[in-house]
Amino acid sequence: GQQVMQIPQYQHVQEGEDFTTYCNSSTTLSNIQWYKQRPGGHPVFLIQLVKSGEVKKQKRLTFQFGEAKKNSSLHITATQTTDVGTYFCAGQNNNDMRFGAGTRLTVKP
């Protein structure tokens, strides 16, 4: 079945440094979604990428979808303490949605 791999599992950065998490699917996706889960909270939808090679930006966050629609990345520029949390990618094919293992980001002030 469809599998979604995400790396790294953990990332600890100094405030102001950049951060990137990568997501790779074993199958071609119809779309990929990104979620953020704060400690003790529930996953919150950030963005959805649909088109091959698509790039979307949300302030300091940049999301990319690979040309083959099998991989994606989330890049945060100049991290802040408010960016702390676990970032999940979720690959969708038809009505089948599978989450990556998540990247837990901690930011040192």
Q: Which residues bind another protein (CB under 8 A)?
A: 6, 30-31, 33, 35, 41-45, 48, 50, 88, 90, 92, 94-102, 104
Number of C-beta neighbours around residue 22 at 10 A:
17
Q: To the nearest whole angstrom, how small is the minimum distance from the Cβ of residue 6 to another protein?
A: 8
- Please identify, using beta-carbon distances, which residue of 14 and 95 lies nearer to another protein: 95
102 touches 37 (CB < 8 A): yes
- Non-local CB neighbours of 43 within 8 Å, separated by 6+ positions: 35, 36, 37, 88
- Please identify, using beta-carbon distances, which residue of 31 and 77 lies nearer to another protein: 31
- Please identify, using beta-carbon distances, which residue of 15 and 96 lies nearer to another protein: 96
Strand pairing class (10-14; 55-58) = unpaired
Q: To the nearest whole angstrom, how small is the minimum distance from the Cβ of residue 53 to another protein?
A: 17
